[in-house]
């Protein structure tokens, strides 16, 4: 009998310790509920409120509770008493917007007053209030007591159980401030998205499109994490929304790898590292495909495995980016230094968010604002990195373009000097004979001939001496004169390839700018025309027409070579673009020529097919 009494006393003591402390409200505007929670784990995942009310609950004595992925559904119970003489209106808040199932029951005297079956896997209209996360209204009369039961279940990763009780007025004020900050944050993301998209359309620099896709998918994913996705995509079914959300999270990681490998040119600089990042991308796709398969088969118990693969892969990706950019920064890469700095901000915010979601640190109120601020800084910094990297590439393209054109001109000089040098050598031999014969008349004649030929060679140098002149002195110059200068510089190539060049000038015209730059453009177009004409066997012609159209001085250069393919026309002015045949050497020359005409002369340069062949049109303001 004594043993039975001791056992009953032990069970009674255990039951008493299982009762969580009652929360008395009324004096504060906000209360953290976790210290007042009791917990029960439903291993069947099927128990209802009527089933769990009388079960054995356990106290939660930690400041923050993180619930791991498991086969259980977690229940939390809170007892709340209004300790004031006034009625109180509160919101029960749960800020984790991506939880799969969140059910709330409000009971009084063992009777269910309110029942809300919500979560990301349920339609938006099932919520108590239309809100981006979760709000449940709780009203308490003077001295009134209520019980709150919360059922939490998440499929993919660890979730926090932090819940707060906040007065409705206080919530509205705080929510207004949060909306302003979030509006600024998403505004910056949207502006940078379109800014980089426009730059990509102008430059066709591939890392820009990778960054644009990253911004779009990352901004969408973050809107999901903050709960706004269901508003935007409310027209989707819940099942399709689940697939869409998972796909977005995979895509932004793949796009950031594409961006990092592109802007750092890892394929050239570190080919093995480039391959390693491609493997990481494949693993992301594998984890995405695995979750899709499990979702389609409705197999809940194994979500943690592909989710764990994604998490590990994500950490490896971040660590790898830090190591690679640090190595390249130590080697002197300015771009890598900027990427490293921007990426450290991204990592710090993601690590703090992860630690908060897993319960390692409390869910401080500053975490989300800090994450948003660092994301804004990172977004702007990476955009500036792209701009700086593009500027470096453009400078390289300019140097390469000038080297290509310089090589062509050196070839012309060599060709034009070859015959005079041979003749001067013969004149020197003849001069030696005249000296031996003391033939003063012929000595003088030979000396005069040599002087004339050296003068002609000097004039050839004068034709090209300004090509590498870095001084950009703008002046008014005659269009016909600069055109004749370019034709003269190209005569050797015309002769070698049997190209006939004709010029038609309707009226003398003048333009304002750097004459040497306009000369480079004409030379590049003429060289490209000669390249295109090599596909013709005979009757190779270039015709040049100078006219005035309104305020514009227009130069049209037509060659009767083969037409450009329709699919190639939009890409002719992309850097390094080339095809077999018609635009075989166009790449750098046309790209830089268009940049010069647009930026230095504020004009236009276009290339089109015409009846006689291909026409290049340069339009610049006439002065």
- What element of type H or E holds 291? helix 271-297
Residue 584: predicted pLDDT: 42
Q: For residue 217, is pLDDT > 70?
A: yes
pLDDT in tens, 59-71: 876 655 777 767 7
DSSP H helical ranges for 298-366: 304-330, 334-357
| Averaged pLDDT for residues 268-289 | 88
Identify the DSSP state of 178. Answer: H
| Averaged pLDDT for residues 308-323 | 82
Percent of the chain with pLDDT over 90: 14
What predicted TM-score, i.e. pTM, was given to this entire model?
0.61
Q: For residue 16, is pLDDT > 70?
A: no
Q: How far apart are CA 377 and CA 33, in angstroms?
A: 34
DSSP H helical ranges for 72-205: 168-203
pLDDT in tens, 370-401: 777 877 777 777 777 777 666 666 666 666 66
Contacts of 618 (CB under 8 A, 6+ apart): 521, 525, 554, 555, 556, 557, 597, 603, 604, 605
| Averaged pLDDT for residues 493-502 | 85
Of 222-226, 428-432, 529-533, highest mean pLDDT: 529-533
| Averaged pLDDT for residues 70-90 | 89
Residue 394: predicted pLDDT: 67
Residue 419: predicted pLDDT: 59
Q: How confident is the model at residue 617 (pLDDT cuts 50, 70, 90)?
A: very high
Q: How far apart are CA 125 and CA 106, in angstroms?
A: 19
Q: How confident is the model at residue 113 (pLDDT cuts 50, 70, 90)?
A: very high
Q: For residue 12, is pLDDT > 60?
A: no
Q: How confident is the model at residue 287 (pLDDT cuts 50, 70, 90)?
A: confident
Residue 106: predicted pLDDT: 94
Residue 2: predicted pLDDT: 47
Query: 204 by DSSP, 3-state: which?
Result: coil
Residue 265: predicted pLDDT: 84
Of 135-149, 163-177, 301-315, highest mean pLDDT: 135-149
Q: How confident is the model at residue 411 (pLDDT cuts 50, 70, 90)?
A: low
Higher model confidence: residue 121 or residue 165? 165
pLDDT in tens, 434-444: 787 777 777 77
Q: For residue 17, is pLDDT > 50?
A: no
Q: For residue 463, is pLDDT > 70?
A: no
Residue 314: predicted pLDDT: 79
| Averaged pLDDT for residues 158-187 | 85
Contact in structure between 156 and 295 (CB atoms under 8 Å): no
Q: For residue 210, is pLDDT > 60?
A: yes
Residue 581: predicted pLDDT: 43
Residue 105: predicted pLDDT: 95
Contact in structure between 498 and 534 (CB atoms under 8 Å): no
Contact in structure between 229 and 241 (CB atoms under 8 Å): yes
Alpha-carbon distances, residue 542 vs 487, 502, 529, 575, 605 (angstroms): 11, 6, 8, 25, 18
Q: For residue 597, is pLDDT > 70?
A: yes
Of 14-23, 136-145, 384-393, 481-490, highest mean pLDDT: 136-145
Higher model confidence: residue 457 or residue 25? 25
Contacts of 608 (CB under 8 A, 6+ apart): 569, 614, 615, 617
> Worst-scoring range by mean pLDDT, 280-289, 382-391, 521-530, 584-593?
584-593
Q: For residue 335, is pLDDT > 90?
A: no
| Averaged pLDDT for residues 155-173 | 84
Residue 59: predicted pLDDT: 80
Of 2-16, 211-225, 300-314, highest mean pLDDT: 211-225
Q: For residue 144, is pLDDT > 90?
A: yes
| Averaged pLDDT for residues 216-240 | 79
Q: How confident is the model at residue 585 (pLDDT cuts 50, 70, 90)?
A: very low
Q: How confident is the model at residue 589 (pLDDT cuts 50, 70, 90)?
A: low
Q: For residue 90, is pLDDT > 90?
A: yes
| Averaged pLDDT for residues 193-198 | 84
Mean pLDDT of the chain: 79
Contact in structure between 534 and 580 (CB atoms under 8 Å): no
pLDDT in tens, 123-136: 888 888 888 889 99
Query: 54 by DSSP, 3-state: which?
Result: coil
Q: For residue 552, is pLDDT > 70?
A: yes
Count helices and strands in the chain by DSSP H and E runs: 15, 20
Q: How confident is the model at residue 451 (pLDDT cuts 50, 70, 90)?
A: confident
Residue 135: predicted pLDDT: 92
Q: How far apart are CA 55 and CA 47, in angstroms?
A: 11
Q: How confident is the model at residue 142 (pLDDT cuts 50, 70, 90)?
A: very high
Q: For residue 57, is pLDDT > 50?
A: yes
Q: How far apart are CA 522 and CA 616, in angstroms?
A: 10
Residue 414: predicted pLDDT: 67
């Amino acid at each position: 009998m004594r043993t039975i009494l001791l056992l009953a006393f032990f069970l009674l003591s255990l039951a008493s310790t299982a009762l969580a402390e009652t929360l008395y409200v009324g004096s504060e505007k906000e209360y953290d509920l976790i210290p007042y929670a009791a917990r029960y784990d439903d291993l069947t995942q099927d128990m209802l409120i009527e089933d769990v009310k009388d079960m054995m609950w356990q106290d939660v004595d930690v400041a923050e509770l993180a619930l791991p992925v498991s086969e259980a559904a977690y229940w939390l119970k809170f007892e709340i008493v209004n300790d004031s003489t006034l009625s109180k209106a509160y919101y029960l808040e749960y800020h984790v917007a991506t939880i799969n199932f969140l059910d709330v029951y409000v009971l009084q005297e063992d009777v269910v007053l309110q029942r809300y079956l919500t979560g990301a896997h349920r339609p938006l209209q099932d919520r108590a209030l239309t809100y981006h996360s979760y709000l449940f209204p709780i009203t308490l009369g003077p001295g009134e007591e209520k019980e709150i039961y919360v059922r939490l279940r998440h499929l993919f990763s660890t979730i926090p159980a932090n819940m707060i009780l906040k007065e409705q007025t206080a919530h509205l004020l705080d929510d207004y401030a949060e909306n302003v900050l979030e509006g600024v944050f998403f505004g910056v993301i949207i502006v940078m998205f379109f800014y980089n998209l426009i730059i990509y359309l102008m430059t066709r620099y591939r890392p820009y499109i990778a960054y644009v896709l990253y911004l779009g998918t990352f901004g969408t994913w973050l809107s999901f994490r903050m709960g706004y996705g269901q508003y935007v995509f409310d027209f989707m079914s819940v099942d399709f929304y689940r697939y869409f959300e998972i796909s977005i999270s995979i895509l932004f990681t793949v796009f950031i790898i594409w961006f990092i490998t592109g802007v750092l040119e890892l394929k050239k600089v570190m080919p093995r590292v480039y391959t390693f990042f491609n493997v990481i991308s494949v693993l992301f796709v594998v984890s995405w495909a695995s979750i899709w398969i499990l979702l389609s088969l409705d197999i809940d118990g194994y979500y943690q495995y592909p989710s764990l693969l994604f998490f590990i892969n994500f950490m490896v990706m971040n660590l790898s980016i830090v190591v690679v950019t640090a190595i390249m920064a130590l080697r002197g890469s300015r771009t890598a230094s900027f990427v490293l700095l921007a990426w450290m901000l991204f990592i710090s915010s993601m690590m703090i968010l992860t630690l908060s979601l897993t319960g390692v640190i409390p869910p401080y109120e500053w975490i989300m604002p800090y994450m948003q601020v660092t994301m804004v800084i990172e977004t702007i910094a990476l955009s500036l990195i792209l701009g700086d990297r593009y500027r470096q590439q453009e400078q390289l393209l300019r140097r390469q373009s000038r080297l290509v054109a310089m090589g062509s001109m050196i070839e012309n000089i060599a060709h034009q000097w070859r015959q005079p040098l041979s003749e001067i050598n013969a004149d020197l031999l003849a001069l030696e004979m005249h000296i031996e014969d003391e033939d003063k008349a012929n000595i003088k004649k030979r000396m005069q001939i040599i002087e004339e030929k050296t003068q002609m060679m000097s004039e050839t140098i004068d034709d090209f001496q300004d090509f590498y002149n870095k001084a950009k002195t703008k002046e008014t110059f005659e269009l016909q004169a600069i055109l004749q200068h370019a034709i003269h510089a190209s005569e050797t190539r015309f002769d070698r390839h049997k190209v006939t060049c004709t010029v038609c000038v309707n009226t003398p015209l003048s333009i304002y700018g750097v004459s040497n730059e306009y000369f480079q453009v004409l030379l590049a177009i003429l060289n490209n025309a000669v390249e295109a004409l090599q596909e013709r066997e005979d009757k190779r012609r270039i015709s040049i027409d100078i006219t005035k159209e309104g305020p514009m001085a227009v130069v049209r250069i037509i060659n009767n070579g083969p037409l450009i393919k329709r699919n190639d026309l939009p890409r002719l002015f992309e850097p390094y673009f080339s095809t077999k045949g018609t635009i075989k050497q166009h790449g750098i020359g046309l790209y830089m020529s268009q940049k010069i005409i647009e930026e230095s002369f504020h004009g236009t340069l276009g290339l089109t097919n015409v009846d006689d062949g291909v026409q290049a049109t340069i339009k610049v303001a006439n002065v």
